[in-house]
Structure 1
Amino acid sequence: MEFLAEYAGFLAKVVTLVVAVLVVLAAGVVARSKGRKTPGQLQVDRLNDFYKALRRRLEQAVLDKDQLKAQYKAEAKAEKLAKKSGAHKPRVFVLDFNGDIKASAVDQLRHEVTALLSLAKPQDEVVVRLESGGGMVHSYGLAASQLARIREARIPLTVCIDKVAASGGYMMACIGEKIISAPFAILGSIGVVAQLPNVHRLLKKHNIDFEVLTAGEYKRTLTVFGENTEKGREKFQEDLESIHGLFKGFVSRYRPQLQIEEVATGEVWLGLAALEKQLVDQLQTSDEYLASRAREAELFHLHFATKKTLQERVGLAAGVALDRFVLTWLGRLSQQRFW
């Protein structure tokens, strides 16, 4: 037990030191980048080349020389005929959105959408690979508005969900003319939640006063430190119900086939059940869908990347290392399994 106590003390000191270093690095990054815009660049990758390289590597390992020669000859002949006919394949623009609680990826999404709208035509298609469990109302409202720009331009929009599109994530997904989900992806959570602690009784116990001064009856309804009233709770609940009503109206606008009162309960469903409730249109992974589209269309993956300074890269690497360290030790201590 004495050894464990000493080890725990040593571990706490190490974690404290790492956190202190990260704080110093973060402060340096903020100080250096304040008032300076970080440039970005749109990266475009042709996914057809990626799929072709995968197939070629497998062919080289499986087929003999004569078979490879015949295969390459047939492909060259097909490409020559296609060029001679003058036929143009439709284009598919692929975007990725991996959402956190603040929908931070919207900073890249807005530029990607602006770029593709400058070139895409109604005969093209936009595919968004979406993964998000939702987050802040205003942040996901902006993210959803970016996808709405594609619909307003009358360009077909397909949303693919492999893992999760819940709450604000589903708010984005519902804009797609076609929603494709993996069989066990999590969808739904059409609801609104807010929670905050209140330490008023603890402060009162220690004779600590906390004053809240407002101008406007409902400038502040519930607080962390002050004494909350029933009237404040009622107003806060009223605001949540209002947001929920707007959420339901938004989803109904883009998915009129839904029985909105049945699915807007805050519940989530796996893809198989979501298909029955018409939350999605098709069960398929994004890999399968894009691979099939690559046979008949030109696929372009768009990613707007911002250039990070050396300090930012160092800070990011340190943050990732700390996350892994904490998660590793939590896993060892808990030894829990999750499905």
Structure 2
Amino acid sequence: MEEWATELGLFVARLAILVLVVGLALAVIARMRGDGSERLRLRVEQLNDRREYRRRRLALAASEPSARKRLLKAFRRDDKAKNRRGGKEAPTARQTVWVLDFHGDIRASGTPRLAEEISAVLASAEKGDEAVLRLESAGGLVHAYGLAAAQVDRLREAGLTTTVCVDKVAASGGYLMACAADRLQAAPFAVIGSIGVVAQLPNLHRLLKRHDVDVELLTAGEYKRTLTVFGENTQEGRDKFQADLENTHRLFKSHVAERRPNLDIEAVATGEIWYGRDALTRNLVDALGTSEAYLVSRMDEARVISVRLEPRRSMGERFGMAVSYGVERSVDRLLERLDAGRWEKR
């Protein structure tokens, strides 16, 4: 058993190395052939149609074989009637809900794409439309999430009703973005809050001094460097660094308080996090629920349209992603089998 597992592990390792080499080669070729700019395409999908398509598929699957023809005829009649109504009533006054997505990392690297998506929505949206942002972020750099929050502000400033839905987490910089909405909804166990600022860095001065290594740090400006990694830090520098953190925290609290005036900002701006249900009692969110449930409820009275900018991938990139996914799945299955075998022996 152990010999088999070892051989399989070696095979997976060789396969992973091969995939890495091929992927690097394809990346180099793509960079040489590309123009250096990211190629993006706008993907627009009406979620009402997708929901109706799936409903019909399930209805057919659950029906008796003898009833499927009747169902298909009924679907065709509905489609014809819908087309006739659309021709007579267009242009329709039905509200449109524009759906955007943001999954944030520490640098909020999806901000440029979100900005372009918002620009596209604002160019097409009409009075009375709604924008829904499905947001997932645990926060990150202050300036990066400040810019991302400013992009969300554009929706409200343009007169669109703005709803932010949080299924998993909107903490720190993520909450900085989320609080810009007219309505903020979170899943019952979504992580909300963390209205605070943190910074940490190591200092190697004593270690270097023990090995007779000197570091010269020259600055022009009293507070150009307050804390450093290699230099000797002073209490004055620490105090100034702490003052900068406090000032950033003050700006954070002011931003949240302006957008959520019913919030007791001093009570929640402690850096703590709360799950959705507790966040609701503290007015950090307006309602409990998942993004999927909210969008389904809106489909009964509005067109729900997903807007997303996606990169155009070459054939080589798609092949590399497929191979990488296959290797990842193989490793996961191997680990699952080994784990299952461990429990079976017991």
TM-score, normalised to structure 2, is 0.81
1:1-339 correspondence runs (5 A): 28=28, 32=32, 36-63=36-63, 64-65=67-68, 66=70, 69-70=73-74, 73=77, 76-77=80-81, 80-81=84-85, 84-86=88-90, 87-308=92-313
- 1:281-329 CA-to-partner distances (Å, cap 9, x unmatched) read 1111111111111121111111112334678768878988999999999
- 1:235-268 CA-to-partner distances (Å, cap 9, x unmatched) read 1110000000000000011111100000110000
Q: Which moved more, 1:234-243 or 1:70-79?
A: 70-79
Report the CA distance shift for 1:247/1:316 in structure 2 as closer, same or farther (over 3 A): farther
Could you tell me which amino acid in structure 2 is paired with residue 106 of structure 1?
T
CA distance in structure 1 between the partners assigned to 2:334 and 2:62 by the alignment: 44
CA distance in structure 2 between the partners assigned to 1:142 and 1:314 by the alignment: 35
The answer to whether the 8 Å contact 1:25/1:311 transfers is no
The answer to whether the 8 Å contact 2:19/2:324 transfers is no
- 1:116-159 CA-to-partner distances (Å, cap 9, x unmatched) read 11111221110000000000111111111111111110111100
List alignment gaps of at least 5 residues for structure 2: none
Could you tell me which amino acid in structure 2 is paired with residue 259 of structure 1?
D
Q: What is the CA distance between 1:202 and its match in structure 2?
A: 1.4
Report the CA distance shift for 1:205/1:48 in structure 2 as closer, same or farther (over 3 A): same
Report the CA distance shift for 1:272/1:41 in structure 2 as closer, same or farther (over 3 A): same
Q: What is the CA distance between 1:183 and its match in structure 2?
A: 0.7
Partner-residue secondary structure (3-state), 1:118? helix
CA distance in structure 2 between the partners assigned to 1:26 and 1:224 by the alignment: 39
Aligned residues, how many? 327
CA distance in structure 2 between the partners assigned to 1:323 and 1:216 by the alignment: 51
CA distance in structure 2 between the partners assigned to 1:23 and 1:74 by the alignment: 49
Report the CA distance shift for 1:68/1:130 in structure 2 as closer, same or farther (over 3 A): same
Q: What is the CA distance between 1:88 and its match in structure 2?
A: 2.9
Task: State percent identity of aligned pairs.
Answer: 47
What do you get for the CA RMSD once the two structures are aligned? Answer: 3.7
The answer to whether the 8 Å contact 1:94/1:128 transfers is yes
CA distance in structure 1 between the partners assigned to 2:316 and 2:46 by the alignment: 32
List alignment gaps of at least 5 residues for structure 1: none
Partner-residue secondary structure (3-state), 2:133? strand
